[in-house]
């Protein structure tokens, strides 16, 4: 390490009554001369074990520190017993591995944005190392002690924005920390974690014992190829499953799996003549890959193998062959010549050529080596790896391998190019010389390409993978240890494409003898259209950027020309080049309303109000934004009563003024709202803050510029309109919340005036709904009923936005949304049902447990879309629900929003909310999202049904009840015929699609 730091290891005090002095970020261990902790007598033995644990961690850190990684000398705080019933903090000097940064015990961190959580984590060391390994992570919280509901053995990774400090809350049994910095040499942390907890990521033992066909994959410029799974990954070792995703454009191999791209696949059979034989000489093969979770000891491979022409069926009985017969690398015993387009993980890369029998071959990239030799060093960890300047492997990137052809028609070289959006540099290398056993390897490989090769995609790992990612004799490689136990469950390849190297706009359709089988010409044509369209759009945008760059360069003064410098001679009118401003920081208002204050204080003078969806431009100052183009400050968040409310959300957007067509034509979004229009105008250099309203037609949608002035079109007739009559649209790279302003009148008892109230609602409808349902895998009918609802556009699918949660594995397709995208279920843990009748809900036999309710409502909270709607509605999947009937009921309670939830059953004088229909206002939902933990810690909720838990929790949080005992016809409370036109929903325990559909038809006929 290049700086020393203080590391304090304190003890987790458990659940007893203790006094503790946690370290704050501004306190130094040297300032804490002595801290006494008084434990309860019955848990003193537990503290002894904790003390032993501290020494274990110390010994572990000391042992690791000697391996040459990031080590420092810092005061290591250890507890030693000085008298019965007390623990004293003493200071000792020692050496420590510094990847955990600052650690605070009994402290839970809250930040504005969370990354994700991981369960079954065995120690705080594992949690902080996981944070260290994720470039997006800056802080973490770990549930160290058992019995801490919702957090025990869970690791929560969190983001920190520039200048942000985590909000700290006292919580026994919890450990939190800040990420110190990334470790440049990798693998040792993974080894520690693997030893501590066997494996952070469990590799599925699912195999393909009888299944060979996984589907088909579409390759642009080539058409559709079948995906054949390897039954055997190695002799005696079954292959793992491979998944085709994203409408047949993505391939996801699981750990220990291999897939072949074939002309066709017959289930349970392996036939050599079915393997594809792609003739790639003079062509380029490209794809995108996500290696963000494949660490040291993991290998994601893309190889080209002459499988159709290999007559040795091998020990795996599928004709797979490799340069050598080493089973440790997934070999099945047969050898052949191969093209290693990719052997890689997030730290290392190899592109290689191998003749049969040559394990080393010729290769380029980064990584590899052992004590006596050095591997590939064409790149470094500054070029390739997590947070690298050219290829940041924390994110997907593009791979393109070209098989360059010489003037006489033979292979001249292979060239690999790695590129990534948002990065100005690419990584490019070529192999043009290769000799093995006195053979010219390039010529031999040329012969193989002429006959045709089969793409083979694999994902596996090994504890001895130093040839790929080893540190090497020069110490410049990335990994000191290979830990395959820590490999992710899968990796992802997508956007496959093949095109002619010298003619990138022409698709390469040569698949050997079977290019036109099974109607593939249509698939090839569609792939060609897709490829040309993408390339045309890319070239057009690149040309625009080039024009802009050249204009800007021409406007700069020329060195040495003094007053005779030309001003560039360019016409800077909007007809000549587009105006573009990239990477603008915006802040979107996510609260219902925010106040603009004169000073950055909640006691400051209020200058005005801004509503949800407005986008602000400003500079951050602590937890406030100083508005750049108008006076005032807006708070990002507010913390009170041990909870944090967030008002703003940061986003990065590009603005562009276009001279022709509409925003949609250019793949952009129209800007809606005068405030956002003003922000975009200023970013583009139009410093006049006045945005005029245009109420006529024949103008672009939303924000536009005409004659140097900013305008905003308010007429609905202009929706979808592009540049017209000299008016040029201003567009954004991200969608903007569309809002309309509705003016209503009301009365007050305090004065005789008739005040005007302005409320903001989405154009979706008033009031607007976010609806969701939970589908159980244990019920054979529920998923079918939900699919019928989607097909009929009723139930939750008649709400403005919706979500479907289910414990079905894997994700289930519900239908196709209005935007053409698949509607998929979000996976939750198995739904837990309580049997009855019970004291909680005596009128029902079964109900969903509160534990499932907590999980699902937490997902709704994390989803966040509820913030954009007036009401959140949970509906059971087998309920006939008609949202248009409930709108007028709730509308009168929306104009002046309150914190409300609906009780829809009054049986024997007990007003309650039934789980078949749960309705919460936005304020009620916000209250629950922030304070639900109070219910979990103060209620015995484990035996409660979900609706009863929600009602009790909302009551405890001070949410008001809205009694409407007539809206729901539920056989467990008040039965109503489906023909009753006054009801908004019906729950008659429908057990199949037909009975549900019968009720629905009766309901809509009234």
Q: CB-based contacts of 179: which residues, under 8 Å, 6+ apart?
A: 101, 128, 131, 132, 137, 138, 139, 140
Q: How many helices (H) and strands (E) does the chain have?
A: 13, 65
pLDDT at 834: 72
- The pLDDT of residue 736 is 64
Q: In angstroms, what CA-CA distances link 589 with 582, 610, 625, 867, 929?
A: 21, 8, 11, 10, 17
Among 7-16, 51-60, 280-289, 910-919, the least confident range = 7-16
Tell me, what DSSP letter sits at residue 744? E
Model pLDDT, residue 643: 53
Residue 349 pairs in a beta bridge with 344, 366
Instruction: Summarize the confidence of residues 333-353 as an average pLDDT.
Output: 94
How far lies 897's CA from each of 854, 870, 912, 954, 955, in Å?
25, 8, 22, 16, 18
| Lowest-confidence region among 124-133, 177-186, 200-209, 586-595 | 200-209
Give the start-end residues of each E strand in 575-641.
579-589, 593-597, 606-611, 615-616, 618-621, 624-627, 633-635, 637-640
**Mean pLDDT value of segment 534-555:** 46
Query: Binning pLDDT at 50, 70 and 90, where does residue 406 land?
Result: confident
């192999």: which residue's tokens?
431
For residue 107, pLDDT beyond 50: yes
Q: Are 285 and 400 in contact (CB under 8 A)?
A: yes
Closest to 200 measured CA to CA, from 290, 132, 271:
132
- Looking at residue 203, what is its pLDDT? 53
pLDDT > 70? residue 292:
yes
Nearest alpha-carbon partner for 949 in 932, 971, 931, 924? 932
Q: Is the pLDDT of residue 826 over 90?
A: no
Query: Mean pLDDT for the chain?
Result: 75
For 676, phi then psi, to 5°, come to: -70, -35
pLDDT for 605 beyond 70: yes
Q: Give the count of beta carbons closer than 10 Å to the beta carbon of residue 439.
A: 12
Residue from 860, 645, 902 nearest 770 by CA: 860
pLDDT at 430 over 60: yes
CB 396 within 8 A of CB 389: no
Please tell me which residue, 712 or 330, carries the higher pLDDT value. 712
Backbone angles phi, psi at 477, to 5 degrees: -75, 170
What pLDDT score does 517 carry? 37
pLDDT at 502 (0 to 100):
57
In this structure, what token pair is assigned to residue 418?
Answer: 């790695």
Q: What is the pLDDT of residue 532?
A: 54
The tens digit of pLDDT for each residue in 757-774 reads 222 333 467 788 999 999
pLDDT attached to residue 427: 96
- Please tell me the least confidently modeled range out of 271-275, 276-280, 530-534, 703-707: 530-534
How many whole angstroms from its chain centre is CA 331?
Answer: 35
Of 830, 850, 846, which is closest to residue 838 (Cα–Cα)? 846
> 42 pLDDT exceeds 50?
no
Which sign, positive or negative, has the C-alpha torsion 960, 965, 969, 971?
Answer: positive
pTM: 0.41
The answer to whether residue 446 scores a pLDDT higher than 60 is yes
Other CB atoms within 10 A of residue 930 CB = 18
Give one DSSP letter per residue of 973-986, joined into a string: TB---TT-TT-SEE
Query: In sequence order, which residues have a C-beta less than 8 Å from that of residue 551 and are 6 or more positions away?
Result: 568, 570, 572, 576, 577
Per-residue confidence (pLDDT) for residue 195, from 0 to 100? 58
The predicted pLDDT at position 839 comes to 41
For the cut 70, the answer to whether the pLDDT of residue 636 exceeds it is yes
Please tell me the predicted confidence (pLDDT) of residue 146.
Answer: 73
Residues contacting 800, CB < 8 A, separation 6+:
762, 764, 765, 768, 769, 770, 869
Confidence band of 185 (pLDDT split at 50, 70, 90): low
Confidence of residue 33 (pLDDT cuts 50, 70, 90): very low
In the chain, how long is the greatest CA-to-CA distance? 103
What are the structure tokens assigned to 455, written together? Answer: 């793409």
| Site of tokens 């302003």 | 741
- Higher per-residue pLDDT: 403 or 481: 403
Are 263 and 276 within 8 A, CB to CB?
Answer: yes
Residue 980 has pLDDT above 60, yes or no: yes
- Check residue 52 and give its pLDDT: 38
> Where residue 456 falls among pLDDT bands split at 50, 70, 90?
very high
Select the highest-mean-pLDDT range: 180-189, 283-292, 511-520. 283-292
Query: Is residue 645 pLDDT above 50, yes or no?
Result: yes
Q: Give residue 143's pLDDT.
A: 86
Q: Please, which pLDDT band fits residue 587 given cuts at 50, 70 and 90?
A: confident
Going from the C-alpha of 821 to that of each of 247, 264, 813, 877, the distances in angstroms are 10, 27, 10, 21
> Could you check whether the bond before residue 414 is cis, i.e. omega within 30 degrees of 0?
no
Contact 451, 280 (CB under 8 A): no
**Rounded to whole angstroms, how far apart are CA atoms 184 and 646?**
35
Burial of 542 (0-12, 13-18, 19+ CB in 10 A): exposed
For 159, other C-beta atoms within 10 Å of its C-beta total 16
- What is the average per-residue pLDDT within 209-221? 84
**Is the model more confident about 385 or about 210?**
385
Which residues have CB under 8 Å from 640's CB, separation 6+? none
- Each residue of 127-183: pLDDT tens digit? 777 776 666 788 888 888 776 656 778 888 888 887 788 888 777 888 999 876 555
Q: What is the predicted pLDDT for the residue at 738?
A: 46
Backbone phi and psi for residue 898, each to the nearest 5 degrees, phi listed first = -125, 170
Looking at residue 108, what is its pLDDT? 85
- Among 242-251, 315-324, 497-506, 854-863, whose mean pLDDT is lowest? 497-506
User: Which of the four pLDDT bands, split at 50, 70 and 90, describes residue 915?
Assistant: confident
Query: Does residue 80 register a pLDDT over 60?
Result: no
Please tell me the predicted confidence (pLDDT) of residue 150.
61
Q: Which segment of 522-536, 784-798, 946-960 scores lowest on mean pLDDT?
A: 522-536
488 by DSSP, 3-state: which? coil
Q: 849: which 2 tokens?
A: 């447990």
Over residues 57-69, the mean pLDDT reads 35
Binned at pLDDT 50, 70 and 90, residue 10 comes out as: very low
Cα(308)–Cα(259) distance, integer angstroms: 15
pLDDT over 90, % of the chain: 27
């Amino acid at each position: 390490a290049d700086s020393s730091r203080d590391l304090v290891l304190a003890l987790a005090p458990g659940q007893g009554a203790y006094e503790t002095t946690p370290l704050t970020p501004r306190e130094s261990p040297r300032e804490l001369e002595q801290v006494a902790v008084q434990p309860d007598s019955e848990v003193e033995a537990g503290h002894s074990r904790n003390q032993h644990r501290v020494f274990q961690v110390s010994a572990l850190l000391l042992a690791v520190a000697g391996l040459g990684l990031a080590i420092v000398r810092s005061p290591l705080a250890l507890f030693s017993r000085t008298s019965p019933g007390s623990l004293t903090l003493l200071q000792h000097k020692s050496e420590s591995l510094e990847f955990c940064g600052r650690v605070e015990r009994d402290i839970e961190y809250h930040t504005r944005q969370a990354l994700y959580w991981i369960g079954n984590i065995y120690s705080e060391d594992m949690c902080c190392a996981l944070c260290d390994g994720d470039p997006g992570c800056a802080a973490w919280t770990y549930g160290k002690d058992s019995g801490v509901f919702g957090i025990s053995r869970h690791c929560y990774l969190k983001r920190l924005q520039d200048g942000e400090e985590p909000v700290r809350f006292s919580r026994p049994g919890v450990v939190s920390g800040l990420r110190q910095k990334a470790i440049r040499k990798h693998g040792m942390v993974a080894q520690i974690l693997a030893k501590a907890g066997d494996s952070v990521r469990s590799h599925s033992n699912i195999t393909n014992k009888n299944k060979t066909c996984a589907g088909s994959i579409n390759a642009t410029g080539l058409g559709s190829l079948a995906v054949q799974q390897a039954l055997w990954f190695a002799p005696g070792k079954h292959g793992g499953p491979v998944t085709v995703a994203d409408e047949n454009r993505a391939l996801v191999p699981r750990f220990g799996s291999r897939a072949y791209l074939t002309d066709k696949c017959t289930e349970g059979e392996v036939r050599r003549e079915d393997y594809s034989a792609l003739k790639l000489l003079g062509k380029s093969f490209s794809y995108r890959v996500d290696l963000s979770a494949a660490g040291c000891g993991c290998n994601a491979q893309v190889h080209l193998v002459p499988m159709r022409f290999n007559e040795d069926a091998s020990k795996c009985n599928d004709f797979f062959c490799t340069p050598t017969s080493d089973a440790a690398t997934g070999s099945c015993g047969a050898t052949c010549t191969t093209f290693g387009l990719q052997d890689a993980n997030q730290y290392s890369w190899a592109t290689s050529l191998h003749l049969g029998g040559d394990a080393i071959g010729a290769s380029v990239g980064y990584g590899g080596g052992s004590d006596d030799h050095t591997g590939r060093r064409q790149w470094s960890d500054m070029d390739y790896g997590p947070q690298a300047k050219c290829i940041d492997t924390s994110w997907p990137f593009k791979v393109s391998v070209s098989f360059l052809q010489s003037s006489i028609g033979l292979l001249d070289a292979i060239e690999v190019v790695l590129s990534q959006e948002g990065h100005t540099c690419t990584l490019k290398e070529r192999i043009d010389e290769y000799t093995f056993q006195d053979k010219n390897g390039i010529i031999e490989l040329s012969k193989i390409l002429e006959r045709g090769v089969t793409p083979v995609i694999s994902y596996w790992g090994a504890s001895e993978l130093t040839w790929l990612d080893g540190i090497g004799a020069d110490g410049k490689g990335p990994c000191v240890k290979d830990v395959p136990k820590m490999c992710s469950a899968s990796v992802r390849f997508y956007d496959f494409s093949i095109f002619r190297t010298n003619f990138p706009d022409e698709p390469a359709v040569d698949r050997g003898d079977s290019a036109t089988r099974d109607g593939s010409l249509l698939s090839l044509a569609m792939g060609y259209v897709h490829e040309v369209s993408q390339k045309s759009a890319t070239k057009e945008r690149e040309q625009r950027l080039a024009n802009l760059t050249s204009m800007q360069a021409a406007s700069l003064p020329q060195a040495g020309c003094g007053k005779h410098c030309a001003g560039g001679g360019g016409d800077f009118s909007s007809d000549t080049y587009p105006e573009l401003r990239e990477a603008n920081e915006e802040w979107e208002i996510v609260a219902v309303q925010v106040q603009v204050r004169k000073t950055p204080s909640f006691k400051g003078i209020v200058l005005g109000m801004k509503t949800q969806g407005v986008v602000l431009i400003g500079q951050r100052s602590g937890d406030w934004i100083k508005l750049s183009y108008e006076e005032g400050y807006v708070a990002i968040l507010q913390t009170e009563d041990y909870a944090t409310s967030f008002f703003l959300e940061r986003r990065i957007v590009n603005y562009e003024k276009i001279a022709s067509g509409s925003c949609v034509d250019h793949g952009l979004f129209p800007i809606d709202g005068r405030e956002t229009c003003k922000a975009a105008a200023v970013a583009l250099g139009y410093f006049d803050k006045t945005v005029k309203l245009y109420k006529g037609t024949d103008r672009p949608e939303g924000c536009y510029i005409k004659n140097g002035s900013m305008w905003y079109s308010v007429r609905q007739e202009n929706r979808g309109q592009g540049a017209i009559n000299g008016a040029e649209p201003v567009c954004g790279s991200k969608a903007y919340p569309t809002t309309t302003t509705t003016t209503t009148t009301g009365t007050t008892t305090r004065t005789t005036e008739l005040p005007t109230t302005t409320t903001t609602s989405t154009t979706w409808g008033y009031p607007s709904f976010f609806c969701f349902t939970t589908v159980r895998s244990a019920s054979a009918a529920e998923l079918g009923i939900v699919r019928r609802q989607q097909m009929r556009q009723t139930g939750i699918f008649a709400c403005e936005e919706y979500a479907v949660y289910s414990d079905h594995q894997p994700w289930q397709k519900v239908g196709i949304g209005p935007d053409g995208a698949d509607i998929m279920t979000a996976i939750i843990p198995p739904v837990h049902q309580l049997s009855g009748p019970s004291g909680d809900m005596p009128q029902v036999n079964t109900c969903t447990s509160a534990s499932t309710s907590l999980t699902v409502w937490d997902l709704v909270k994390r989803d966040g879309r509820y913030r954009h709607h007036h009401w959140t509605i949970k509906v059971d999947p087998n309920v006939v629900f008609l949202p248009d009937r409930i709108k007028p009921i709730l509308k009168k309670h929306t104009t002046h929003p309150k914190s409300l939830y609906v009780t829809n059953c009054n049986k024997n004088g007990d007003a309650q909310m039934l789980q078949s229909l749960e309705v919460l206002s936005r304020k009620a939902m916000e209250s629950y999202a922030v304070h639900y933990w109070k219910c979990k810690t103060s209620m015995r909720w484990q035996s409660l049904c979900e609706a009863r838990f929600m009602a009790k929790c909302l009551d405890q949080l001070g949410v008001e009840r809205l009694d409407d005992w007539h809206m729901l016809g539920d056989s467990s409370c008040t039965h109503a015929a489906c023909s009753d036109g006054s009801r908004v929903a019906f729950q008659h325990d429908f057990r199949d699609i037909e009975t549900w559909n019968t009720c629905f038809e009766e309901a809509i006929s009234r």
